[in-house]
Amino acid sequence: MKQIQNTFLREFSPDGHYLVGVSGGRDSVALLHCLINSGYKNLVVCHLNHQLRGRASDADARFVEKLADKYDVDFVVDSANVRALATKEKLSIETAARDARYKFFAQAAKRERCRTIFLAHHADDLVETFLINLFRGSGTAGLGAMRTVSKRRVEDVELTIVRPFLENWRAEIDRYVRSQRLKFREDASNKDLAPLRNRIRRRVIPYLEKILGRNIRQGIWRAAMIAAEEESWIETQLPNVTDVNLAVGKLRDLPVALQRRQILKWLRAQNIGNVGFDVVENVRALLDHDSGIAKTNLPQDRHVRRKAGKMFID
């Protein structure tokens, strides 16, 4: 398996101060070991107890704490009742868990005065995420969402997310873990076919490979990387959205594709989560000269209004 690549060593110096998300599973344990072996010493191991597996979740937290102690790095831990959050926000367990993790990472970033976090997503994760977003009807913004280096705003914190393993496959990580004799925690829920990602991993991809007669992962991974690179370029073509108001006239002058991207960027900058195609199109409909509509709904009981040539959120 590739070690932390030279590009990462240049852009994210081992002398720097970084957060690293560690669940206790094989991928994050391998990432932490790889970072330590590559000379990264000033790390803060971040672990969120999702409270989904009772004593097993508590044991995961203790395992990660001992791992941080072994490597002599700082450790930050918190817990969240993900099942209750999912019920309250009407989200899937997977989405609620992801939202809780990133909120925790943002809080850790503020406390530790560090805005960069290493995560252990790998090539198989990229393929699965691409397919999930494709089946949901995402454009290239969703298809290229998982990148080697990306930004994510969580509340008032902008995190830099670094994924050094995005070119490494799960099988490579397995071999690395075995060769280094690394101990890790098995998550029994990975075998549960209720979560969509597990069904994609264990049923959909193997079925597609069977009927097509070839390994499709590499081709999907390549398409996802191309989408990510194109998406990064498109973002550089859009002006920064720092104002709480969006000028209707300037937005109308843009091509439709850029209108959508600008609205998406603006909504995210205003901390609006779960923004999909329908939400963006509803906001874009406010640009219509002939429409009498001057208000549209957003997630979380918020709204976009158009007034005096401006769009704003309340």
pLDDT of residue 37: 92
What digits encode the pLDDT tens for the residues 56-79?
Answer: 999 999 999 999 999 999 999 999
Q: Which of 73, 126, 80, 129 is nearest to 103 (CA)?
A: 80
Q: Which two tokens stand for residue 40?
A: 């990264």
Q: How many CB atoms lie within 10 A of CB 175?
A: 13
Distance CA 70, CA 48 (A): 19
Under DSSP, is residue 151 helix (H, G, I), strand (E, B) or coil?
strand
Instruction: Say whether pLDDT at 1 is over 80.
Output: no
Beta strands in 148-265 (DSSP E): 149-154, 157-162, 246-247
Any idea which residue has 């995210």 for tokens?
Answer: 268
pLDDT at 6 over 60: no
Backbone angles phi, psi at 214, to 5 degrees: -160, 165
Query: Can you give the pLDDT at residue 233?
Result: 85
Dist. CA 3–CA 31, nearest whole Å: 9
Least confident of 124-133, 160-169, 261-270: 261-270
Let me know the angle formed at the C-alpha of 116 by 16 and 47, rounded to the nearest 5 degrees.
Answer: 105
**What confidence category does residue 172 fall into, taking pLDDT thresholds of 50, 70 and 90?**
very high
In contact, 45 and 31? CB cutoff 8 Å: no
DSSP 120: -
Phi and psi, residue 150, nearest 5°: -145, 170
Residue 311: helix, strand or coil by DSSP? strand
Q: Looking at residue 294, what is its pLDDT?
A: 85
Query: 10 Å Cβ neighbour count for 139?
Result: 16
Mean pLDDT of 235-264: 82
Tell me the pLDDT tens digit for each residue of 21-57: 999 999 999 999 999 999 999 999 999 999 998 899 9
The answer on pLDDT for 291 being more than 70 is: no
Edge to edge, the sheet with strand 295-298 lists 246-247, 310-313, 302-307, 295-298
> Residue 304: exposed, middle, or buried by beta-carbon count in 10 A (0-12, 13-18, 19+)?
buried
Q: Return the pLDDT at 23.
A: 96
- For the chain, what is the radius of gyration of the CA atoms? 21
Each residue of 192-215: pLDDT tens digit? 888 889 999 999 999 999 999 999
